[in-house]
Structure 1
């Protein structure tokens, strides 16, 4: 009997240990959040303190004087090389890419607007204009050509009025930037005109261009070299001010060029987002405020970076990644898939993962205690039966 009781005690203790061990083994470990490294730029593209390309890639071009620049693969979102990509600088008219990403899907190209005096209020002194006139009627498609080809702030003002006004549009642009994971951008003037506190970065502008190129209307407008714009008594021929696209002002047209947008203000200097496609690969290069003082400097530096990017195919490992994959569509088009995977989304996923892990730990611990208590109770009942002679012999 004593031997049986001792055996029962040992069995009960072993049962408790075994059950507890199995329960603890089933508790999920708190893991490092998946995707964190994939969605946050590497130090070379994090701004503030240089940058560069990955080991094994071709040597970066010499003579780069821009305060900030990036080279990225538009399809994968990989940043191939950069310098101070998150440095906050005045964007000039390259900010019109964010304006287009925000507003372009809302109105079909054939929508007609009769321009009022209020539509043209507040255009900054010295602004680039396409020649929009009060009282005249314009199709939305013409206004967008005025935005992309001539960087017309007058056309931006009319479209912003259609969108609910200047302040509403600035606020919506800010919201769009946030959704796309572009955290360096502060919007004050939707046309990119210099305004206190208005900044963006080479990284953010690349994000906007990538999101825009996913929209067929954006891609078409930003790649248009020449178009007719309505004017008194007929039309006026306008040409794109992006010299890499138009092949003008001493610059040859870049092979495979797509667009996207150039800009200039006194505060921003020259800025440019350029996209080009060769051999099934699309690259985006953003250059902000070259310091060389050389004529066409922003175009020459962008061209040399595009050349480097195409030479680096299959050689340059990403030094960072764009934080978004945005897909939009033109007004009246089919429903579109829209994804905004940002660092903020990663934070939310990490919080959710941590919360679920904590719940799993708690549930696992409670389960172990319940099972152990059950095993102990069974052992005691077995011991009582042994002492009363009712158990097996």
Structure 2
């Protein structure tokens, strides 16, 4: 049951500086699902097949039976606004990021090519491993295997980059070169893919199967709107994830060249976030309250996007996959319409499902001895648990300073305070994101 918001917010304001982010470990690799279409997550590539035209008759029921049904799922009633009619995406979902309630969905568990939104899972898996100030000199082997036509941030061999530089390259420019370098730092692509699949299973993102860590076209690589939303929700528990996802522009190290008098000079260049709801475009204004997360686009996958936004103390997650409408920036326009609906419907519409907690958290919440509020200790490394059951973990972290182009506020939204320390966490029935929001000073 949700805690009273005012009390929770006062507690969070007092103690949020003590909180730290939790990296959820995972127990085992997930088996490859049968894809409904060929995956793709690079700007180009050779898709092995075209996505099916219709969703399967039966899909996963993680999060609730209705989420496994094809078509639009919503509980329209008196006072609930009608869903926007001009949403053409094959699959989408609107969820409350704090409570986990799914307000509405359309083919939520349809396994489709995720495009570069899969990089959210890459980041959620690897971010805790390397200090942001750590440096790495790029070897030629680090950049091996990058697919032709990949999106790149411009990493050069024999140049040194900080881990922060590399993550900005991943989030802002969707750089497959940055992904490959970070994978090399993580004992290679094969090891990274294995860990990503394990982490997906831990999160109960069971529609997801990773073949390439950068999400480039690969047979059998799939995810779903439901899974991408789970993954984003997990990532947003992490301070660095929130910073990178909400950064509009940043300086990226350039190539070292000879300057005057033969001295080496390395000038940075500006990179800009390709998330158009965050950075804007000619036909897409910056969305008020947007705070990330990740976009993707390929010929095979179409456009995909997961976004998080806050208005009036309510934090929503929206994922949109493959709009069929042939319109410039359609994925952002449809996401904005669903956000608008979600903020109007929040508190009025009855949910059609829920975003489930990680397996280890569900298991901890179901342990004997948990108190009446559903709290129990846990390491975050356990396995097992039943999808859609158990309590939901609460995570929090102090906000970090982002790069240029964004106004930052400590948006303390509703929830129950839980201290995260030493890799342990407490479990509660809600999973708020208390310091998530990095609002612009104006729309």
Q: With structure 1 as the length reference, what TM-score do the two structures score?
A: 0.74
For the Cα contact (< 8 Å) 1:68–1:85, is it kept in 2?
yes
Match of 1:41 in 2: 63
Residue matched to 1:201: 224
Larger radius of gyration: 1
Partner of 1:283: 316
Deviations 1:207-246 (A, max 9, x none): 0000000101100100000000000231000100000000
Are 2:283 and 1:250 equivalent residues in the alignment? yes
Report the number of matched residues.
303
Q: How does 1:173-252 map to 2 (within 5 A)?
A: 173-232=196-255, 233-252=266-285
The CA deviation at 1:341 is 9.7
Aligned to 2:110: 87
Task: Provide Cα deviations, 1:30-52, integer angstroms capped at 9, x if missing partner.
Answer: xxxxxxxxx942333225x1122
The answer to whether the 8 Å contact 1:324/1:341 transfers is no
Q: Quickly say closer, same or farther: Cα 1:338–1:270, change in 2 above 3 A.
A: farther
Q: Secondary structure at the match of 2:85?
A: coil
Structure number with the higher helix fraction is 1
Q: Tell me the residue number matched to 2:343.
A: 310
Q: Deviations over 1:307-342 (max 9, x none)?
A: 0000012101110011125999xxxxxxx9765899
Q: Are 2:385 and 1:345 aligned? A: yes
Q: Does 1:139 align with 2:179?
A: no
Deviations 1:187-214 (A, max 9, x none): 0011111111100000000000000001
| Mapped pair 1:166 → 2:189 | yes
Post-superposition Cα deviations, 1:253-288, rounded to whole Å, max 9, x if no partner, equal: 000000000001111010000110111111000000
Change (3 A) 1:347 1:121: closer
Question: Is the alpha carbon distance of 1:319 and 1:152 closer, same or farther for their aligned partners in structure 2, counting shifts above 3 Å?
Answer: same
Q: CA deviation at 1:348?
A: 12
Is 1:76 the equivalent of 2:99?
yes
Give the alignment's Cα RMSD to 1 decimal: 2.3
Q: Could you say which residue in structure 2 is the equivalent of 1:52?
A: 73
- Tell me by how many angstroms 1:250 deviates: 2.2
How far apart, CA to CA, are the structure 2 residues paired with 1:269 and 1:337?
Answer: 40
Residue number in structure 2 paired with 1:121: 144
3-state SS of 1:306 partner: helix
Distance 1:326 1:107, change over 3 A: farther
Q: Distance in 1 between matches of 2:188 and 2:298?
A: 23
| Partner residue, 1:27 | none
8 Å Cα contact 1:202/1:288 also seen in 2:
yes
Q: Which runs of 5+ in 2 are unaligned?
A: 1-60, 256-265, 362-376, 391-443
- Cross-structure match for 1:353: none
Q: Is the 8 A contact 2:356 2:388 kept in 1?
A: no
Q: What 5-or-longer segments of structure 1 have no aligned partner?
A: 1-38, 329-335, 351-393
Cα pair distance change 1:242/1:131, threshold 3 Å? same
Q: For the residues of structure 1 that align with 2:278 and 2:379, how far apart are their CA atoms? A: 29
Distance, in Å, in 2 between the alignment partners of 1:340 and 1:182 is: 16
TM-score (norm 2): 0.65
Asked whether the equivalents of residues 211 and 326 of structure 1 are also in contact (C-alpha less than 8 Å), the reply is no
Aligned partners of 2:202 and 2:359 also within 8 Å: no
CA distance in 2, matches of 1:155, 1:327: 30
Shift of 1:55: 2.8
Q: Is the 8 A contact 2:305 2:332 kept in 1?
A: yes
> Which 4+ residue blocks in structure 1 deviate beyond 4 angstroms?
325-328, 336-342, 347-350
CA distance in 2, matches of 1:44, 1:124: 38
